[in-house]
Amino acid sequence: MTERRRGGRDAGEGAHGARTPEVVDAWDGLVATARRTVADGLVVGTSGNVSVRVGGTVLVTPTGVPYDRLAPGDVVGVDLDGRQTLGSLRPTSELPMHLAVYRATDARAVVHTHAAHATAVSTLVTELPLIHYMAGALGGPVRVAPYATYGTPELAENMLRALAGRTACLLQNHGTLAHGASLDQAYDRTAQLEWMSRVWLLASSVPGLSPTLLTREQLARAGERLRGYGQPGPDTDGVRAP
């Protein structure tokens, strides 16, 4: 018997149309990534959100729904103008940020978290100090977007400015945002940013000592080498440290 969910619809259908196999696979990957952000301590409860683009459709996590409760029939999709095209659950409140990334870049996935160390760094500096060469894998020094109320166009605009020429940024008193060619790549960049934030906080907390930082030139040289690191494929960009 076909499983029935909200409103009597088949689990394989959204509010405004049927789902394709590609959408089904992408939704499964999105849910797995969202659950991973919780398991790895990058978000608490329903904070943070994940999206993935399939053609002209952006699949996003719904607002206020714990990730462990998401099922195949809970797919939520919008077009690039934010009009809902799949599902009946409301999309994440941070939809403006996600859509801004897709309109401005060739990203296929976006991960937004409230990772503790990265969020702490966002309250202290306007740019993550160059504590490690893996900043080169994110396009260069990671900027902090000025604070704005969550879910607003202002926050999306601040985020885009901080993201210029980068694949990740910090959001002041808020968290992180990273994008990539796949969910795995966007997640790996998020995890790398949190790790670098933690390293800087640890190093700068030693009384009487200041961490040695890389120069822009050193970072640029590392970035060049990182572009060829790893196996050939769409995700090759040196996100995983050699």
- Measured distance CA(60)–CA(31) in Å, rounded: 9
Of the candidates 183, 195, 97, which has an alpha carbon nearest to the alpha carbon of residue 145?
A: 97
- Three-class SS of residue 232? coil
Phi/psi at 15 (5° precision): -70, -30
Residue 154 known to be catalytic: no
Residue 166 one-letter amino acid: R
Question: Of 3, 13, 94, 157, which one is the catalytic site residue?
Answer: 94
State the distance between the two ends of the chain, measured CA to CA, in whole angstroms: 50
d(CA 43, CA 115): 6
CA distance 2 to 12: 9
Q: Which residues are catalytic?
A: 94
